[in-house]
């Protein structure tokens, strides 16, 4: 039986004039995950999320979301909740106005869920949204997205401007919403600790290209850190080991042989992400071993 995909991209490319934001991206992300989308500034993360919401169209290649073209019709739009980078709200509307507007715009609106969450996070429904703090605004934007009862929640760095405590509360709410709705989620973030805390699937995007994608557990299981002189590593590597990144006498390597290698140590999610980001940025100090492992 084929597992339904939440995002399926094939050779997805997006150009803005002469600038390329996404290049030949292939992705097959099964439903039921909380996906962490990470990469440096300008990597193409927001572009990918905006394509998934149907806010922009691809230059070439294809992307399907929950099995359909993004924003294919009203019914499909209702299945996707989006929280944008700046968590926009209507400044002169109260929180209660926002909930009323949500009910008016969304056929599947869950007013009980929205009202309960607003109370749980300590917001006053009569307060004007323009007077909310960044953290409160983020909670309101997430509540509105979740009260649509979507199958997919998309977050574009919504917690970036929040202090650590507000971010913790936001992340907890995110996990609770996903659990309560039985939804999938995609979250772009620069904060690897957040990704580590809530995501069970990772996509690393650098310089417009997917570097690696997969369930966090599988990725951690297939990579190791080994000690040695990076300059000599390719010569000492056996077939089936790919050097992702090497520096300061250590290398992050991938492959079955790497996992079995003597003295190989487990890697953290942060080490894994930084290794792929360093490689994409061209700061690799050791060349790849000849027997590269396919993605």
Of 44-52, 96-104, 116-124, 211-219, the segment contacting ligand ATP by CB under 6 A is: 44-52
Minimum CB separation from ligand ATP for residue 160, in Å? 9
Q: What is the DSSP letter of 284?
A: -
Closer CB to ligand ATP, 42 or 182, in the complex: 42
Minimum CB separation from ligand ATP for residue 14, in Å? 8
The count of residues interacting with ligand ATP (CB under 6 A) is 11
Beta-carbon contacts of 86 under 8 Å, excluding residues fewer than 6 positions away, are: none
Closer CB to ligand ATP, 9 or 43, in the complex: 43
Closer CB to ligand ATP, 21 or 132, in the complex: 21
Out of 3, 4, 10, 16, name the contact with ligand ATP by CB under 6 A: 16
Q: Which residues pair with 34 in a beta bridge?
A: 185
* Residue where the block lists tokens 């509360």: 169
Minimum CB separation from ligand ATP for residue 99, in Å? 29
Query: Is 43 a binder of ligand ATP (CB under 6 A)?
Result: yes
Query: Is 211 a binder of ligand ATP (CB under 6 A)?
Result: no
Out of 18, 19, 248, 262, name the contact with ligand ATP by CB under 6 A: 19
Q: Are 253 and 243 in contact (CB under 8 A)?
A: yes
In what helix (H) or strand (E) does residue 33 lie, and over which residues does it extend? none
Of 45-53, 120-128, 165-173, 219-227, the segment contacting ligand ATP by CB under 6 A is: 45-53
Query: Is 41 a binder of ligand ATP (CB under 6 A)?
Result: yes
Measured CA angle at 241 (ends 235, 246), to 5 deg? 70
How far apart, in whole angstroms, are the C-alpha atoms of residue 10 and residue 28?
A: 9
Alpha helices in the chain (DSSP H): 45-52, 74-78, 95-105, 111-120, 134-147, 164-181, 192-198, 216-222, 233-236, 256-260, 269-280
- Chain residues that interact with ligand ATP, rule: CB under 6 A: 16, 19, 21, 39, 41-47
């Amino acid at each position: 039986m084929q597992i339904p995909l939440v995002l399926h991209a094939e050779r997805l490319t997006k150009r803005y004039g002469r600038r390329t934001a996404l290049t030949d991206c292939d992705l097959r992300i099964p439903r039921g995950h909380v996906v962490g989308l990470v990469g440096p500034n300008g990597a193409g993360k927001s572009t990918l999320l905006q394509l998934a919401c149907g806010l922009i169209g691809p230059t070439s290649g294809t992307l399907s979301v929950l099995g359909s073209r993004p924003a294919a019709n009203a019914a499909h739009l209702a299945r996707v909740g989006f929280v944008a980078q700046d968590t926009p709200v209507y400044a002169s509307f109260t929180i209660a106005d926002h909930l009323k507007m949500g009910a008016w715009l969304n056929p599947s609106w869950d007013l009980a869920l929205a009202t309960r969450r607003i109370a749980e996070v300590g917001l006053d429904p009569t307060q004007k949204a323009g007077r909310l703090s960044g953290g409160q605004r983020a909670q309101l934007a997430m509540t509105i997205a979740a009260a649509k009862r979507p199958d997919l929640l998309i977050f574009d760095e919504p917690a970036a401007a929040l202090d650590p405590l507000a971010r913790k509360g936001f992340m907890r709410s995110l996990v609770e919403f996903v659990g309560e709705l039985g939804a999938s989620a995609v979250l772009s973030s620069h904060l690897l600790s957040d990704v580590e805390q809530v995501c069970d699937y990772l996509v690393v995007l650098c310089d417009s290209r997917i570097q690696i994608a997969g369930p966090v557990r599988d990725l951690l299981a297939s990579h190791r850190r080994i000690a040695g002189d990076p300059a000599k590593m390719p010569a000492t590597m056996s077939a089936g080991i790919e050097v992702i990144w090497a520096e300061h006498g250590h290398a992050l390597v991938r492959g079955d042989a790497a996992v079995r290698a003597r003295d190989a140590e487990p890697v953290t999610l942060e080490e894994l992400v930084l290794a792929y980001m360093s490689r994409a940025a061209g700061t690799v100090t050791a060349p790849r071993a000849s027997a590269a492992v396919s993605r």
